[in-house]
Amino acid sequence: MTLQYQKDESTYVVKYMNLMGRAGIIRVLLHLAEAKYTNEFIPIEQVSGDKSALPFGHVPVLIEHRADGTTLELGEALAIEQYLAEKFGLLGSNPQEAAIYRSVALNIYLELYQYCFASATPIQEQIADKNSEFMMKALPQFIKCHESWLNKNGNNGHYFGSKLSYPDLVLLNWTRVLEGLGIKFEEDSPIKKLEETIRVMEEWKGQYDNFHPFKTIEP
């Protein structure tokens, strides 16, 4: 088994639109850990309208109903991801490892998000322009950096050791985003090795394609 975790008796509700989007990694974590969860689809009109019912006025939001009767409401995608990753044993075995795992995952997000979703120039235009900052500088530097991290671990399809960790799932998500936008990675790239290693995990239970970051979920 690639994934090792402690099952608990909690049940979860993921509040988000009927897209994978920012809730994608959250749903992947819950699915791979065989957690009991349901989706509560929030219409875009509600997200952009009355935000008083949401912790920070936006989604995703995670609701955890614990076996002792208490409830946890948690906002912000990265906080939710890291909470679940720690709970399911994907953030190392001590605070030092957890800090390194978080740093790798956060770097992936910070290096790519600003170009893919926060730029005034649509990412499709940046990719089409081979002389853009993203194509000439940001993407090559990102690939070189994270291939180096993966090579330090023996290019075995994981960032750390021989089992799945939180940064593995973050890189997988962003690799699928970039490939969906038209970026092609070299077939012998350690990034492709990680993607293939995780793709064939039995914990997906045949649902790998349904967790693509561009996937729409039927209500």
Measure the CA–CA gap between 33 and 31, rounded to whole angstroms.
5
β-bridge mates for residue 71, sequence order: 65
β-bridge mates for residue 11, sequence order: 36, 65
* Fold observed for domain 95-203: Glutathione S-transferase Yfyf (Class Pi); Chain A, domain 2 (1.20.1050)
Measure the CA–CA gap between 140 and 186, rounded to whole angstroms.
12
- pLDDT at 176 (0 to 100): 97
Q: Which two tokens stand for residue 37?
A: 């969860």
What residues does each domain of the chain span?
Answer: 11-88, 95-203
- pLDDT at 119 (0 to 100): 93
Residues of the chain short of pLDDT 50, as ranges, are 1-2
Measure the CA–CA gap between 74 and 209, rounded to whole angstroms.
27
DSSP states of 25-65 = HHHHHHHHTT-EEEEEEPPHHHHHS--TTSTTSSS-EEEEE
pTM of the model: 0.94
How does pLDDT run across 6-17, given as a tens digit for each residue?
567 899 999 999
- pLDDT at 2 (0 to 100): 47
- pLDDT at 1 (0 to 100): 39
The torsion angles phi and psi of 63, rounded to 5 degrees, stand at: -110, 125
The torsion angles phi and psi of 89, rounded to 5 degrees, stand at: 80, 30
Pick left, alpha or beta for residue 218 (phi over 0 → left; psi -120 to 50 → alpha; otherwise beta): beta
* Fold observed for domain 11-88: Glutaredoxin (3.40.30)
